[in-house]
Every structure is written in structure tokens, then in C-alpha cells.
């Protein structure tokens, strides 16, 4: 009986340690308030405006790179409402088109929708960080699963944005995305999203 009690106690301690680590010492533990007062300030209307070049990798559940991509993006804004149109080209040859609709509140809050987002995404901008949480439905080719996403973007001093996202199913991390986003200089040719194929 004492062996069973010891095993149960050990399992409880492991679960407790994992829970504490997950809450206080992981990617999900960060909060927008952690970045308050730091600079530069991430203004979505400024930094997600115009043509943007993006490169990234997607890591699978094993931690190995499962996919690489480049993307052309175009941000347009009318007041506090913006559209971020995206054309992704994956290393498999697949092309994916998406568009976000973003709405900014007066205190840094963000709401977001997209065709593959289930419900409404919610987040916040604070200092150089932007956090967005939402549920995404994968394409039928990718299994059609609905995943919980925590998406962080960090503005660098030179204007580059580093994007890190984690995708979870039943609380278990199944994928992670890391990407860079850079505004295309005005002197460069404007990205034509309609012709990008």
C-alpha cells in the first residue's frame, strides 16, 4: 500500500511541477504587461502597413522543421481597422492565401478574424510586444484539426518583427512557428499580391 501511495505522490508532484513551470516559466507564461514601458512601441497601423516580406519555419511535434515558407503580405488601414493580406509559398510547392481583419481598441486591445479562425481572436499590444490568442482550423489536407494558437510578435529596433507562435491540441504543443517580417522599402517594387502565384 505504501508503494502505491508513494507512486501516486510522485505522480502528483510531477504534475504540480509541470503545472508551475507551464504557468510561470514558459512561452505561455509571458504577458503583454511584461513589455509595458519597453521600446520601441509596436504600432500595428505603422508596422503592419504596406508591403511586408516574411520568411519562416514550422516545427512539428518532434521539434524538427516540418515546413519552410516565404510570404508576401500587404497591410492596409482605415483608422483602427486593418486588413493584412498574406500569400504563403511553402517548400512543398503549396500556395496559401489568407487575410486577417484586425481591430484596435483605445487601450491596446486587439480583436482579429480570418476565414480559418474559429470565433474571434483576442490580444493586446504593449511596448514592443503584441500577443494574439485564437483557434485556427487547419486545411483538410492538413487534417482539418482545430488548434489553439498563442501568437507573439516582437518589434526589433530596426523595424524587423520576430514572430513566434505555438499551436496546441488538448493543451499539448503540436507545432511551433518562427518567422521574421520586414517592411519592403518604399524604393523597392510594390508587391502585387494578386499576381503572386
- Give 69-109 pLDDT, tens digit per residue: 999 999 999 999 999 999 999 999 999 999 999 999 988 89
pLDDT of 19? 56
* Residue 134, domain member (yes or no): yes
Say yes or no: 69 and 1 in one domain.
no
Domain count, the chain: 2
CA distance to 20, 24, 38, 93, 115, per residue, from 74 (Å):
40, 36, 27, 21, 17
d(CA 36, CA 111): 19
Say yes or no: 93 and 17 in one domain.
no
* Residue 173, domain member (yes or no): yes
Say yes or no: 99 and 63 in one domain.
yes
- Give 118-175 pLDDT, tens digit per residue: 999 999 998 999 999 999 998 888 788 899 999 999 999 999 999 999 999 998 899 9
* Residue 22, domain member (yes or no): yes
CATH of the domain at 117: 2.40.128.20
Say yes or no: 131 and 39 in one domain.
yes
Domain enclosing residue 51, as ranges: 32-183
* Residue 195, domain member (yes or no): no
* Residue 157, domain member (yes or no): yes
Amino acid at each position: 500500500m505504501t508503494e502505491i501511495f508513494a507512486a501516486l505522490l510522485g505522480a502528483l508532484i510531477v504534475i504540480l511541477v509541470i503545472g508551475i513551470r507551464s504557468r510561470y516559466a514558459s512561452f505561455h507564461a509571458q504577458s503583454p504587461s511584461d513589455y509595458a514601458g519597453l521600446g520601441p512601441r509596436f504600432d500595428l497601423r505603422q508596422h503592419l502597413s504596406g508591403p511586408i516580406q516574411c520568411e519562416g519555419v514550422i516545427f512539428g511535434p518532434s521539434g524538427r522543421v516540418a515546413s519552410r515558407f516565404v510570404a508576401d503580405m500587404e497591410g492596409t488601414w482605415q483608422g483602427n481597422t486593418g486588413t493584412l493580406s498574406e500569400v504563403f509559398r511553402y517548400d512543398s510547392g503549396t500556395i496559401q492565401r489568407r487575410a486577417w481583419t484586425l481591430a484596435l481598441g483605445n487601450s491596446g486591445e486587439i480583436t482579429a478574424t480570418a476565414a480559418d479562425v474559429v470565433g474571434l481572436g483576442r490580444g493586446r499590444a504593449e511596448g514592443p510586444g503584441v500577443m494574439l490568442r485564437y483557434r485556427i482550423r487547419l486545411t483538410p489536407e492538413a487534417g482539418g484539426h482545430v488548434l489553439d494558437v498563442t501568437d507573439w510578435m516582437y518589434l526589433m529596433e530596426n523595424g524587423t518583427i520576430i514572430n513566434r507562435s505555438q499551436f496546441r491540441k488538448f493543451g499539448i504543443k503540436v507545432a511551433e512557428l518562427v518567422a521574421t517580417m520586414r517592411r519592403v522599402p518604399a524604393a523597392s517594387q510594390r508587391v502585387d499580391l494578386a499576381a503572386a502565384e
